[in-house]
Chain A
């Protein structure tokens, strides 16, 4: 009886997470357009609905009804399956994220995490890195040179920065001694000063930079930058298949924002009089805003400069950070 309840609860949670995060991802595109527009002294979408809020619906209808073109020479099964990988892995990764603190509904305690596995961080990083196959396979199956270049850029970017994000996380995990995100959150329940960012500022910085690279955000948005490689791996995609890549990308952004908030910025612990649930929403919103702000402010780097930054600057710094943390712990 109990097991069935757990299964039902998990399924409900999964559906809710899928629906809410997909909605948030779509809404994030709207927010991105609006925020960028105001930073660039224009209005952004204005015509569909009040302040263009229904633009989302219009875009959705457009994506769903657009013709799905499959190039003649593409490797068809792979070309068709590749876009599914992006959102699939992005949402799977969210299984181990505790979105909110525990709450009680009708006397039933809900933990807003689909599965509290004891290697949560490892799981998220692992599943998220499988997401790399989406652009890689898409680019290689398209038989398009731009797509191929985009796929190559994706692999170098994501593979390299995974090393940095992994190493950056190692130091705080050494302090906490657990890979479960709930434990990590509870470790920081001592108020503002117990946030890990104060103990591990360098790790926070490195993880945030790697987060920009792994979610393909400016200044590392190289894998589909229009002016250089047309549309990268997505050049030959149209309609909803193209849209799936985007949903995956924005879902990844939300995952990274949650990870940074939970691991470094005190998670969903209440702060002053603000309850934890509101607190974490503020944190992820702020981090997503940072994504947008950077996009509006900076140009982006060249692939070789990105590699230089990764292997010659960030990775050594991450190693030094681990070393220092280790020495302090001993």
Chain B
């Protein structure tokens, strides 16, 4: 890379063996600013921290903060790392939330999980854990078994009052405060949005998440790589297969193996099917939220057909756990192709019926157009990815910009919107279902034969008859189950295009069978942080649609 950043900070950084740029803390903000303004790295994918307390290699300091940025073409990813020294019993880094909106919540999460303070952050408080929570759970000296009982609800007035003051409301006697959620019929999971209403107009909104936080990342640090796969099912439970794939794909990247071609095609076919059901859920729920009840069944019946197919193939309906590190769990069964064709037919029919009900319906247009608008620039700044970003007119799709699994060889289009409103977000999803069907059809045509798991004793399980009949097989199985797949030391980030956007895993391995640290980049998280801005100025009825159209899935949002 020959960039302004490299010229300007020539002697101030060094690149470690993982390809991560290591910077001094004092230059961090200037470096990120330079990357953003001169090298067009406008997209902050994620911020996370690493606690090297128990790492088996000496490091300059116990904590490090990692920044992942993408450029405007979304082809290049740059990883920055700063080591954080303790100063007067405090850990702190300069906040970059004034440069990137998405840094706001990402930094709050780092503070919450690791206890690293961000200087000049506008509102540094916990985001996933409860406000009464004591300690920072992802620190290595926090025992995984130490549960805490938290009882008080956050009234969120500390965030609400400044927002109201910004809007010129000095007193709030005339406003009605209302909790939309966490237990609201349209909150799509346990998501709380706290709004200040004038009549039914939303003057100001604040959202609180974490109701479904179950310490996914802490659990991962205490399980072997193969044991994590069922956990990933529960991230975005609408498309479990894609989460499996994203995780397996990242670990395979660290192991530096390429899965057999047949397994790659199986991942594409089942993954696209998964993307379709993910979109179907979003569309069906979004349309029901505006009272278009019938669409729910038109769109959910095909989803049910896909679930029948998936349960036949994987043995589970919702939480499939179908991927394995190095391949997939089972090959297609006999007659899979016919079942798949029936599924696709029912999807096309259901989608056609639903579209014919709403596509030219004036009420539907009035309810969705110019509601919850976010323009392209804001969407990038706020860390949107996937259909939500494409609806704003940015043609960013990891399947096109950073192709994996032969996606470059398939003929498909990226659906983009123009305005970035609820209408675009829904319509982009309708179109993506069509494109996914195209991909599935092409992939089925050229589906190669062969193995479905890499033939490597250190990665994949031996055949069952070997396990039962000879000692080598038994030992092999035992070692893999007991110790896990040994992943080489390193720090690695890889992402795939999941139903909601860029689903990435940042994994730090210490060479053992369990990840030293694992961080998910859930596509919902940045979208959720932008929700209050989308709601303000709208009405209660719009808020439900805006939330639905972003397709926030609490499972991956709260982890």
Contact = CB atoms under 8 A, between A and B. Distances in A.
A305 interface: yes
Contacts of A226: 185-186
Contacts of B542: 302
Contact of A303 (B185, B200, B287): B200
Contacts of B544: 227-228
Contacts of A304: 200, 539
A100 interface: no
Contacts of B366: 301-302, 305
Category for how many chain B residues contact A? 20 to 34
B358 A299 contact: yes
A300 interface: yes
A305 B287 CA distance: 18
Interface in A276-326: 295-305
B180 to A, nearest CB: 9
A225 interface: yes
A298 B185 contact: no
Interface stretch (B43-51, B224-232, B288-296, B331-339): B288-296
B540 interface: yes
Interface in A32-52: 36, 39-42
Interface string B281-302: 0000001111111101110010
Contacts of A230: 184-185
B214 to A, nearest CB: 27
Interface string B513-546: 0000000000000000000000000011110100
A149 B200 contact: yes
A304 B288 CA distance: 19
B178 interface: yes
Interface in B159-189: 176, 178, 184-186
A297 B176 contact: no
Contacts of A295: 293
B149 interface: no
A153 B544 CA distance: 17
B446 interface: no
A197 to B, nearest CB: 24
Given A227-B185, A230-B185, A303-B200, A298 B291 contact: yes
A193 to B, nearest CB: 33
Q: Which of B184, B289, B541 has the most CB of A within 10 A?
A: B541
B284 to A, nearest CB: 12
B361 interface: yes
B301 A41 contact: yes
B364 interface: yes
B176 A145 contact: yes
Contacts of B301: 41
Interface string A225-241: 11111100000000000
B185 A299 contact: no
B14 interface: no
A272 to B, nearest CB: 35
Nearest to A42: B297
B414 to A, nearest CB: 28
A185 interface: no
A299 B298 contact: no
B345 to A, nearest CB: 15
20 contacts: A39-B294, A40-B293, A41-B301, A152-B199, A218-B291, A219-B363, A221-B291, A225-B291, A226-B186, A227-B186, A228-B544, A229-B540, A297-B294, A298-B291, A299-B291, A299-B361, A299-B363, A301-B366, A301-B367, A305-B366
Interface of B: 176, 178, 184-186, 199-200, 287-294, 296-298, 301, 357-358, 361, 363-364, 366-367, 539-542, 544
Closest 7 CB pairs of A and B: A300-B291, A227-B186, A299-B292, A40-B297, A299-B290, A227-B289, A302-B541
